[in-house]
């Protein structure tokens, strides 16, 4: 009834691997980047040189029913499970998890961590609530029964994350003395908070690389990238950023902070790009109803700067009468309390591990 296949680059298995998400998700739910997945499976992705992928499928009555990839990094005692998809069938999932566990034990790995789709820089975490809402841009969407499948196979939650849902900002409904004072204090000290121009993107992306590499290095599953690979990986952001919602902070000619807020393209950026998609992207980029606060970082030694950076972003949100999402915050971090008065609810995500 069930058959587990570990494959390499065979066309049939690659096509079945890529097909499965379309069988599980509706068009409004799916967040599959098929071209990126294919490049990874064929070791042709810009990041492929950093890891080795081991690919698994499960067939039920000759039909593809589950999939995953185990990512291996040289010198790392952990194996990473990602690109996990499965029909709602606990026995099918058990077959896959059992095969993966046996592989990891055979190769002397100490634990399996996931979901991690090959890299920290691509996608990780599992969504555990608010499945009634359409995915927002960059959200790692999955079926609501996936957590149970992992837990049933002895995985345990090792990290928790939240995304804050902020209510609509308007000129009259929101004032925050804390961020106002922080902003004024930093400006008076000589800090410059500015939005880059699109033509400066090539310069700015290098500044952000240096900050992110330094500030995110203590995150679980973080792996450093070479600067040229980081720039290549994020080159498309040039076309989807609303640069008025990007903030860089300079102090004494040094870049000490950044704040990247994306228009909410939902899942429009996945799949085939046609005229309707391009039109939706164009409209959202000009004036979105919702924005996603995706990346924020402050150099050590500049305590409180994060709240100051938010001030000009909030002013833009008020002017546009938009809602916002503060995305993917490690639970307990100070960023979880940014603009606390406007938080209406929270999306929740987890990272899991299996000790071997």
In DSSP terms, which residues pair with 353 in a beta bridge?
113, 156
Task: Answer positive or negative: Cα dihedral of 84, 85, 89, 92.
Answer: negative
Top-tier CATH class for 165-349? alpha beta
The CATH T-level fold of domain 2-124 is Aminopeptidase (3.40.630)
Q: What is the pTM of this model?
A: 0.94
pLDDT in tens, 311-330: 999 999 999 999 999 999 99
Give the pLDDT band (50/70/90) at residue 339: confident
Task: Report residue 298 CA to chain centroid gap.
Answer: 19
Backbone phi and psi for residue 247, each to the nearest 5 degrees, phi listed first: -125, 135
- Coil, strand or helix at 268: coil
pLDDT in tens, 249-302: 999 999 999 999 999 999 989 877 777 777 777 788 888 999 999 999 999 999
| Percent composition of the chain: helix, strand, coil (DSSP 3-state, to 5) | 35, 30, 35
Q: Do 2-124 and 165-349 fold alike per CATH?
A: yes
Report d(CA 79, CA 354) in Å as an integer: 10
Largest Cα–Cα separation, the chain: 70
Give the pLDDT band (50/70/90) at residue 227: very high
Report d(CA 224, CA 266) in Å as an integer: 28
Looking at residue 48, its pLDDT comes to 98
Continuous H helices in the chain: 11-24, 34-41, 90-106, 146-152, 177-188, 201-215, 227-233, 237-240, 275-286, 305-320
Looking at residue 7, its pLDDT comes to 98
Strand pairing class (254-263; 246-251): antiparallel
pLDDT in tens, 70-81: 999 999 999 999
Q: Of 132, 130, 128, 24, give the one whose Cα is nearest residue 83.
A: 24
Check if the beta carbon of residue 330 is closer than 8 Å to that of residue 200: no
Q: Which residues contact 282 (CB under 8 A, 6 or more apart)?
A: none
Report domain extents, the chain.
Answer: 2-124, 165-349
Count the neighbouring beta carbons within 10 Å of the beta carbon of residue 225: 20
Looking at residue 295, its pLDDT comes to 92
Count the neighbouring beta carbons within 10 Å of the beta carbon of residue 69: 23
Sequence length of the chain is 356
């Amino acid at each position: 009834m069930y058959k587990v296949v570990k494959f390499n680059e065979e066309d049939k298995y690659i096509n079945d691997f890529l097909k499965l998400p379309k069988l599980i998700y509706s068009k409004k739910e799916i967040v599959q980047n098929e071209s990126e997945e294919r490049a990874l499976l064929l070791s042709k992705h810009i990041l492929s040189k950093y890891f080795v992928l081991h690919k698994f499928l499960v067939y039920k009555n000759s039909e593809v029913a589950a999939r995953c990839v185990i990512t291996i990094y040289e010198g790392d005692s952990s194996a990473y499970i990602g690109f996990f998809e499965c029909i709602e069938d606990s026995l099918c999932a058990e077959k896959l998890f059992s095969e993966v566990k046996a592989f990891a034990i055979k190769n002397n790995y100490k634990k399996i961590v996931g979901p991690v789709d090959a890299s920290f820089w691509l996608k990780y975490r599992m969504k555990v609530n608010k499945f009634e809402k359409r995915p927002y841009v960059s959200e790692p969407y999955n079926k609501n029964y996936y957590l149970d499948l992992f837990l049933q196979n002895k995985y345990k939650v090792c990290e928790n994350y939240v995304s804050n849902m902020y209510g609509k900002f308007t000129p009259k409904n929101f004032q925050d003395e804390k961020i106002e004072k922080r902003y004024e204090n930093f400006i008076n000290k000589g800090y410059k908070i500015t939005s880059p121009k699109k033509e400066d993107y090539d310069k700015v992306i290098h500044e952000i690389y240096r900050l992110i590499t330094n500030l995110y290095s203590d995150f679980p599953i973080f792996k450093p990238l070479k600067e040229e690979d980081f720039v290549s990986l994020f080159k498309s952001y040039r076309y989807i950023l609303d640069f008025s919602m990007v903030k860089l902070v300079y102090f004494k000619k040094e870049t000490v902070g950044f704040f990247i807020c994306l228009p909410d393209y939902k899942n429009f950026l996945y799949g085939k790009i046609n005229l309707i998609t391009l039109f939706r992207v164009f409209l959202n980029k000009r004036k979105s109803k919702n924005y996603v606060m995706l990346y924020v970082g402050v150099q050590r030694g500049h305590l409180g700067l994060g709240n100051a950076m938010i001030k000009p972003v909030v002013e833009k949100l008020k002017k546009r009468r938009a809602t916002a999402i503060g995305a993917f915050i490690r639970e307990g971090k100070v960023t979880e309390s940014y603009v606390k008065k406007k938080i209406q609810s929270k999306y929740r995500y987890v990272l899991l591990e299996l000790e071997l």
